[in-house]
């Protein structure tokens, strides 16, 4: 539905009023960018649903490209618009599309992506004893045990700097975008306590699913790092100067306090 609205905006420029067909270079370029964005979205979603395989690196590149294309396309459309309402709607719809793409990627990387040794098929493929051994090896309820494990592993040349950063920094950064997306689409998330509560519940839900489907590791350190990253991002984005600039940049889609 979101893609249909975007196409409607680009081709027919239908934004609340009548339909006015405007053939311009800006519309053409923005339309092409949105088509590429839609293609990237379909590719990432298709790989998550196992319709075809895309490498881990290719997914990262696609995600970066998607955000770049989305912001460029929306900027081009907004630049020529005079109506503040139309500007707001273009940015809001584009942001929603990016939010859906982001959630798809999070689900993929936390439950499905075999680059990290994750596979929901483990639930069906492993025997009862194998499942028990898997859970013993992939659960940690001791705070900072995994953090210490990777840091010690790096110092002892067991893990490379990339592998250490991928795990620790990756877990710290993975939910940072929620500090931007959630306050836009959920009013309750503008409150720090409610935002953190929702983040914690979200992470716990993922960890429980990882236990149920034997996909990845259920780790208290994931909860700590995920929550800390989202918390710090929220504090920064909600600071007065950053919030005002973000509100102006997104044409008030981001509500400044």
- pLDDT tens track for 20-31: 444 367 777 888
How many Cα atoms are found within 13 Å in the side-chain-facing hemisphere of 200? 9
Taking the complete model, does pTM exceed 0.85, yes or no? no
Q: Which of 8-17, 176-185, 215-224 has the lowest mean pLDDT?
A: 8-17
Bin 13: left if φ > 0, else alpha if -120 < ψ < 50, else beta: left
Q: Which of 101-105, 116-120, 223-227 has the lowest mean pLDDT?
A: 116-120
Chain segment 34-67, per-residue pLDDT in tens: 888 888 888 877 777 667 677 777 778 888 888 8
Burial bucket for residue 219 (CB in 10 Å: 0-12, 13-18, 19+): buried
> Which percentage of the chain shows pLDDT scores above 90?
37
> pLDDT at position 168, please?
94
- pLDDT at position 109 over 60: yes
Contacts of 237 by beta carbon, 8 Å cutoff, 6+ apart:
179, 180, 183, 243, 246, 254
CA-atom Rg of the chain in angstroms: 21
Handedness of CA 107, 135, 213, 43 (dihedral sign): positive
> pLDDT at position 128, please?
73
């Amino acid at each position: 539905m979101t893609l249909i609205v975007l196409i409607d905006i680009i081709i027919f420029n239908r934004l609340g009023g009548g339909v006015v067909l405007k053939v311009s270079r800006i519309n053409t370029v923005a339309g092409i960018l949105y088509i590429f964005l839609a293609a990237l979205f379909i590719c990432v979603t298709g790989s998550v649903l196992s319709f075809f395989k895309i490498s881990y690196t290719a997914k990262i590149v696609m995600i970066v490209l998607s955000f770049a294309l989305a912001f460029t396309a929306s900027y081009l459309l907004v630049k020529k618009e005079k109506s503040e309402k139309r500007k707001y709607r273009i940015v809001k719809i584009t942001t929603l599309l990016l939010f859906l793409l982001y959630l798809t990627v999070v689900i993929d990387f936390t439950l499905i992506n075999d680059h990290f040794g994750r596979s929901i098929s483990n639930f069906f493929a492993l025997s009862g004893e194998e499942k028990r051994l898997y859970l013993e090896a992939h659960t940690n309820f001791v705070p900072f045990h995994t953090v210490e494990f990777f840091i010690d592993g790096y110092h002892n040349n067991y893990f490379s700097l990339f592998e250490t950063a991928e795990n620790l920094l990756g877990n710290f950064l993975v939910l940072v975008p929620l500090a931007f997306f959630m306050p836009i689409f959920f009013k309750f998330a503008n409150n720090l306590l409610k935002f953190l509560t929702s983040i914690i519940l979200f992470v716990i839900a993922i960890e429980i699913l990882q236990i149920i489907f034997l996909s990845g590791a259920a780790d208290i350190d994931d909860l700590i790092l995920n929550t800390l990253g989202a918390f710090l991002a929220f504090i920064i984005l909600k600071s007065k100067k950053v919030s005002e600039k973000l509100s102006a940049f997104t044409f008030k889609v981001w509500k400044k306090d």
